[in-house]
Amino acid sequence: MLTSKQNELLTFINHRLGETGVSPSFEEMKEALDLKSKSGVHRLINALEERQFIRRLPNRARALEVLRMPELMRKAPPALVAVPKKPIPQAANDVLEIPLHGRIAAGVPIEAMEGQTSLSVPAALLGPGEHYALEVSGDSMVEAGILDGDYALIQRTESAREGQIVVALIDEMEATLKYFRREGTMIRLDPANRAYDPQRYSPAQVRVQGRLAGLLRRY
């Protein structure tokens, strides 16, 4: 069962594909659904993708394919529900605005979430889920290619698998970007710089706030 907005967006995408063979842009989808921001479109796209109504074509920021339509719409006019057979050309990248929450340490932990502005990010760099960005401070993750001044793109989550790079909040006060590992009954946060030592904490001291989804570097 889709929400009214999900259903409206799916119909709009399918209609546009049937007419032109090209996915609508995020701006066009925002205007068609009368949404305030592209982040709302991004959430709807993720929901439709999770429910397997659409899929994103690899290496194409705007290329979407309709896999199926809701049962109640199968009696609609063919022009609205036919999935196009012609190839979808590559289009220019869409850009999303995601929250920028201050700085995060890639070294000694410093305070994160200092304030909130926004950062423009190519949609192709983000997968499903909710995201935010943090400016990296320090050099403890340089061997993982994460440099001082980079913007870490973080997928919001409260869990992590062994070996993932995460934002870890320590003692509800300070946050750091490190590899997440378990060592017996302890949590070990590993740097990617041999000049730094691993940090060990009890599970009660560490709260995962997200995992690294990508990097943005400005020159």
23 tagged catalytic: no
DSSP 116: -
User: d(Cα 29, Cα 10) in Å, to the nearest integer?
Assistant: 10
Q: How many residues does the chain have?
A: 219
| Residue 78: exposure state from Cβ atoms within 10 A (0-12, 13-18, ≥19) | exposed
Asked if residues 178 and 168 have their Cβ atoms less than 8 Å apart, the reply is: yes
β-pairing, 131-137 vs 95-105, is parallel
How many angstroms from the chain centroid is the CA of residue 217? 16
Determine which one of 23, 25, 137, 178 is catalytic.
Answer: 178
Structural tokens at position 96: 């999303």
User: d(Cα 6, Cα 44) in Å, to the nearest integer?
Assistant: 6
Angle at 5 between CA 24 and CA 65, to 5 degrees: 40
User: d(Cα 190, Cα 176) in Å, to the nearest integer?
Assistant: 10
Determine which one of 23, 39, 137, 140 is catalytic.
Answer: 140
118 tagged catalytic: no
Q: Which residues are catalytic?
A: 140, 178
